[in-house]
Structure 1
Amino acid sequence: MTSSRTRRLSGVVAVAALAATGAAFTGGSTSAASNGPTIDIQLLSFNDFHGNLEPPSGSGGRIITSDTYTETSNTNPNTGVTTYSATPQTVNAGGVEYLAGHLKALRQGHPYTATVAAGDIVGASPLLSAAFHDEPTIEAMNSLGLDVTAVGNHEFDEGYKELQRLANGGCLDDGAGAANQDSCPGGKTFTGANFPILAANVRLKATGQTILPATWVKKFKGAKIGFIGMTLKDTPNIVTASGIQGLEFTDEVQTANALVPRLEAQGVKAIIVLIHQGGVPTRTASTAHLSGLENKFDSACPTGTSTGLNAPASPIIPIAQQLSPQIDMIISGHTHTPYVCSIPDPAGQPRLVTSASSFGRLVTETNLTFDRRTQDIVRASVAGNNLVVTRDPAFKDPAETKIIADYKTLIAPIASKVLGSISTDITTASSPAGESKLGDLIADAQLADPSTTTGGQAPVIAFMNPGGIRTNLTYANKSWNEAPGEVTYDEAFQVQPFNNYLVSLTLTGAQVKEILREQWGGGATTSPNSIARPVILQVSSGFAYSYSDTPAGRVLGPVTLGGAELSDTGTYRVVTNNFVADGGDGLPGFRVGSGRFFGGLDIDAFANYLQAHSPYSPVADARITKN
């Protein structure tokens, strides 16, 4: 039988919820005169834009707008088992044209306003930006009036020197479209960011100097607000090692607290941290069936003993709890989730911590009062809430529309090229063991790529990290008016947008098995919950492994190649992308591989494989099994 009913989940508009629970963020006066003892200041913030100039599609282009869900229960008449599903109310959101328009509208009536961001403005970007080394996104950020941003981990995707170029300007001599990238296309010039990119905790080991400014001070009429910008200290674990060679990433708390007295020495007492690290709201529901579904755009975190964030998944909590009480607010990112929270500072005073989801779908508006007499923010005045960047045509910014149109013309010859066709959708939907059809395809493409063969040795095993697969290949998609089932370079790039290089290396069978154990934390028997995000590596055809969950933990089972058990002492040539080869995603076992050889780009291997195997149909392998 089937039945449906509507459930009302917990969660209300952020400001109302904070006031109802007795939070200190009660809102400031809106009538403070510019020549009086206080002035009202508006902060507009966002994070994790990732070069999404055009409106993002799929689930990445929607935001949950209502805490009303329709729950449907279905009972199998043969087994008596009841399953539940629920659909949230959503709205399409995002796109730089609309982001710019909403920001302009929000600034109206606020003479003292600043627009700030918390990192990953570029990197893992759609082709429209990535094909030009993310110069279009910097141009778009200049146009919408971004005042300052922190650096994020993805700003290091092409190395720190490229990040410095994005900040300072100049063109790359990259061969005018070689490797499907082109700096300063069509005779354009690139002047760099009109806003500072702050990297307080990223230093050159040789000199101790930060690679970019650590702080920035915004001056209003009679008011100074200092900004400290940082990325997460664990950035080296999630970026390519070659791009950060010679750098050190220092602890976020120690770095920021050391900068507070330096800002105070400049007469700056009002301080805000922009940090590319974040949290995940605890998702609650009125019934167990719906648990885990709530993630409203205006999710408010309760005050008191609970932060409203899931502690194991929220590294921002201990950071916020230890940052100096002189810091008045924390604008965070990285986790792509929306929240407006109160986390007490070390003095026990409430302090606002915010995040605005990702891809320009939300803007956090924070209003605060600055007291000229104390030269500080009135902490009790700080009030924030997240606002949806709707795609109402009235908000469409013509300057951003022109930027998109110009680059779409320049990208068309690369993006519209048809690589081949697929017979059906090929997605990241995984088996109970964690294997996906798209993961199979990418691993097979890497194994088949001849660019990683060296000394007559071709790889026999390919590994692909699931986090590097960013979207699905869908049969019906028609991004460039191609026929149904045809796959363009643009579509392929959206699947693998990092421009990683393929690397082949030699591992023993024992080392391969240890890497497989590292997926869930390492060790012969390890609980899959012992790390925050277990990784299930996707593998190429002919290679297979199994595992079991036991009361003692997760146990690796047989590991085979061509049906034969891998020999612990035997050696095997493997291929993966340079991020994984450098130990990314918590897989340090790859670093011990010998005979490293760099091949071509992963996207090229993917594109070539699709061309050679068109029309492509998903394989029926069971390469990964769970007992």
Structure 2
Amino acid sequence: MTRLSTRTRALCAAALLAPLLAACATPQGTSVSSPKTQSPVEVGILAFNDFHGNIAAPKATVSWPDGQGGTVKVPAGGAAHLASALDALRHEFRYSATVSAGDLISASPLASSLFLDEPSIGVMNRIGLDFNAVGNHEFDRGRAELLRVQNGGCEKNTQREPCQLEQFAGANFRYLSASTYTEDGTTLFPATGLKSFGEGAAKVTLGFVGLTLKGTPSLVSPGGIAGLTFGDEAEAINRAVPLLRREGADAVIVLIHQGGAQADTSDPNACDGFTGDIQPILDKLDPKVDVVISGHTHQAYICEMPREGAAPLLLTSAGSYGRLVTRLTLDIDPASDHVVSAHARNLPVQSEGYTTSRGDVAQTDLVPVYPARADIAQYVGRYLDAASAYSERTVGHLSGGAPRDWPDATEDRKGGPVDQLIADSQLAATRAAGAQIAFMNSAGVRAPIEPGADGAVTFGQIFTVQPFGNTLMTRSFTGAQIKAILESGVGATPSASVLVPSSTLTYTIDTTRPAGDRITRLAFNGQPLDLAARYRVTVNSFLDQGGDGYVGLAEGSDPTVGGLDLDALEAWLSAVPVRAVPETPRVRVIE
């Protein structure tokens, strides 16, 4: 394909025009002031991440600066509002693309998960998504089911029935997986994608690289990803950059399901004390990468990461659940084939206010209100109605809210009340198998439980908390093995999850001690755990298969397979008129 940039470079080489010489000497960056033969072309990118099937408004908020040094809670999310927000933002651009950085599906509320997240894909088709990076949760139901999500059809790959409400046609958008390889070394999905705008000398092309994190095998059940290899993220990106450039990409945008977090999360457009597992990846990237759109951590940030000898790298994340949209603006010079400037801002997807047991969450006039788009609302409504018989059924009552963090959360406490409630339910459900201790992985808890005004908890609520359909496994371990398993999660490479115990166990993590000797005050029923004695321990099947890096849990003896984790929680809640929410932390941390 002939481009003006080719002619420009030829003229520069011949030194025929001084202005063009100056243009050639200008490095890629966020701005240039030299004369151009072609005006920059503005392209918008609208991005989000970690949607997790939240097709209905999730009764969740985002923090937003109130202009007076504080913040206000903005009710946000829901597919119909997200669609309206995207429509409004697209009208601000002549050219735009809409992308996601992974985890569109799975770990989803009942209305989507009950139907294998088919409605979430249907929503994204209607919204007009172009590309989605494969997230770790996309593998929750295994490779075959993920391929069905892309390609469509009604093949049954799980315990749930596909195509319950409609013939599933698959995703109109393209999954990208630059670092996920099959047995023959090819990528599971295409590594890259292109989207072009304009014609002739003013034509510009965006090149996208999509990928998930290398640590995916420790985050999903191993059986579902058998035969797949998850490679180094930076290597995959850098390998894709020259390919995209040869295919005509004027800008390279990475969609990666990995991220970080700010130290102060009150401003979604800041980059305060940023840290995270994405940083070593950024440090190794080809300087021709212009933008990195990230996810996984469910945190919001807009960062300009310094690079030696190149313009700062724009790094973004839009939190989770469709509560924010990142509005990126790229000015691209089609003559020199590079990005002149790049800017981004996270914008709340404000929806209706709502009420919980903690009070009312009202709309604010500090940000726009996006009305529900009618066609999306109608489509989502079909699935909400179909799921209502399941979701609205009362399964028990709680003495109060069961949050994921302690009300006065500090760094010396790990595992909130809802984590402990789940661990207690799994212990009770497996007493017949001899269980004495149960552990719940903190990262596997997807939401708090907010009961109604009378303390009622619905099936839909507990499904949102535990949507994975894990079975319970009870095995025998010595006290020394239990300690070693706990140590493995807090060593030199800590697990993403803390093992939160049932009421029968407590322990302290002392991070001032050397790795391998950080678990202290380990007690069973109030007495020091006997390292020589044997105990029966229950975990979910994800942990039992080595999930979250706890490979030692598969080494116990005398395994007994139990029922579903969700059934255990329902039985625990329904066993008494009002179940008390745990009030005392069982895991403490010394730093």
Aligned partner letter, 2:531: D
Structure 1, residues 105-164: CA drift from partner, whole Å, max 9, x if none?
111152321111111111221111111111111111111111111111111121222111
CA distance change for structure 1 residues 354 and 620 in 2, over 3 Å: closer, same or farther? closer
| Partners of 1:563 and 1:170 in 2: CA distance | 54
2:96 corresponds to: 113
CA distance change for structure 1 residues 506 and 322 in 2, over 3 Å: closer, same or farther? same
Q: CA deviation at 1:201?
A: 0.6
| Partners of 2:416 and 2:250 in 1: CA distance | 52
Q: CA deviation at 1:624?
A: 5.0
- Residue 463 of structure 1 pairs with residue 424 of structure 2: no
1:415 corresponds to: 391
Aligned partner letter, 1:213: P
| Partners of 1:397 and 1:473 in 2: CA distance | 29
CA distance change for structure 1 residues 552 and 236 in 2, over 3 Å: closer, same or farther? closer
Q: CA deviation at 1:337?
A: 2.1
3-state SS of the aligned residue for 2:68?
strand
- Residue 168 of structure 1 pairs with residue 131 of structure 2: no
2:24 corresponds to: none
Q: Is the 8 A contact 1:101 1:397 kept in 2?
A: yes
Q: 2:172 aligns with which of 183, 194, 198?
A: 194
Q: Is the 8 A contact 1:298 1:339 kept in 2?
A: yes
3-state SS of the aligned residue for 1:516?
helix
Q: CA deviation at 1:405?
A: 0.7
| Partners of 2:89 and 2:345 in 1: CA distance | 13
| Partners of 1:109 and 1:565 in 2: CA distance | 64
3-state SS of the aligned residue for 1:49?
coil
* Mapping for residues 303-318 of structure 1, pairs under 5 Å: 309-310=273-274, 313-318=275-280
- Residue 579 of structure 1 pairs with residue 556 of structure 2: no
Q: Is the 8 A contact 2:54 2:79 kept in 1?
A: yes
* Mapping for residues 236-385 of structure 1, pairs under 5 Å: 236-283=217-264, 294-299=265-270, 301=271, 309-310=273-274, 313-345=275-307, 347-374=309-336, 376-378=337-339, 380-385=340-345
1:480 corresponds to: none
2:163 corresponds to: 184
1:603 corresponds to: 566
Structure 1, residues 171-206: CA drift from partner, whole Å, max 9, x if none?
24479xx7xx542223x11111100011111112x2
1:515 corresponds to: 485
| Partners of 1:56 and 1:64 in 2: CA distance | 17
CA distance change for structure 1 residues 234 and 103 in 2, over 3 Å: closer, same or farther? same
Structure 1, residues 536-591: CA drift from partner, whole Å, max 9, x if none?
42222434445657677874345444566544344333211122223333433223
3-state SS of the aligned residue for 2:573?
helix
Normalising by the residue count of structure 2, what TM-score does the alignment of the two structures yield?
0.83
| Partners of 1:577 and 1:472 in 2: CA distance | 19
| Partners of 1:184 and 1:345 in 2: CA distance | 48
**What is the aligned-residue identity percentage?**
37
Aligned partner letter, 1:147: D
Q: 1:47 aligns with which of 38, 44, 49?
A: 49
Q: CA deviation at 1:491?
A: 1.4
Q: Is the 8 A contact 2:350 2:370 kept in 1?
A: no
| Partners of 1:357 and 1:492 in 2: CA distance | 23
Aligned partner letter, 1:296: D
Gaps of 5+ in 1: 1-22, 71-87, 284-293, 302-307, 478-483, 522-529
Structure 1, residues 418-451: CA drift from partner, whole Å, max 9, x if none?
212223333444485546443332112112225x
Q: CA deviation at 1:458?
A: 3.2
3-state SS of the aligned residue for 2:261?
coil
Q: CA deviation at 1:261?
A: 2.6
| Partners of 1:403 and 1:143 in 2: CA distance | 10
Normalising by the residue count of structure 1, what TM-score does the alignment of the two structures yield?
0.78
CA distance change for structure 1 residues 52 and 393 in 2, over 3 Å: closer, same or farther? same
Q: 1:568 aligns with which of 531, 542, 548?
A: 531
| Partners of 2:495 and 2:535 in 1: CA distance | 27
Q: Is the 8 A contact 2:443 2:496 kept in 1?
A: no
Aligned partner letter, 1:377: H
Q: CA deviation at 1:345?
A: 4.2
3-state SS of the aligned residue for 2:311?
coil
Q: Is the 8 A contact 1:331 1:355 kept in 2?
A: yes
1:11 corresponds to: none
Q: Is the 8 A contact 2:488 2:494 kept in 1?
A: no
Q: CA deviation at 1:593?
A: 2.6
1:438 corresponds to: 418
3-state SS of the aligned residue for 1:194?
coil
Q: 1:223 aligns with which of 204, 210, 228?
A: 204
Q: CA deviation at 1:464?
A: 0.8
1:615 corresponds to: 578
Q: CA deviation at 1:365?
A: 1.5
Structure 1, residues 25-79: CA drift from partner, whole Å, max 9, x if none?
45999xx99xx6643211111111111112222xx42232336345xxxxxxxxx
Q: Which moved more, 1:115-124 or 1:214-223?
A: 214-223
Q: CA deviation at 1:404?
A: 1.6
Q: CA deviation at 1:228?
A: 0.7
Q: Which moved more, 1:113-122 or 1:417-426?
A: 417-426
2:357 corresponds to: none
Q: CA deviation at 1:168?
A: 1.0
Q: Which moved more, 1:401-410 or 1:103-112?
A: 103-112
Q: 2:190 aligns with which of 197, 210, 213?
A: 213
- Residue 485 of structure 1 pairs with residue 466 of structure 2: no
Q: CA deviation at 1:595?
A: 4.3
Gaps of 5+ in 2: 1-27, 352-367
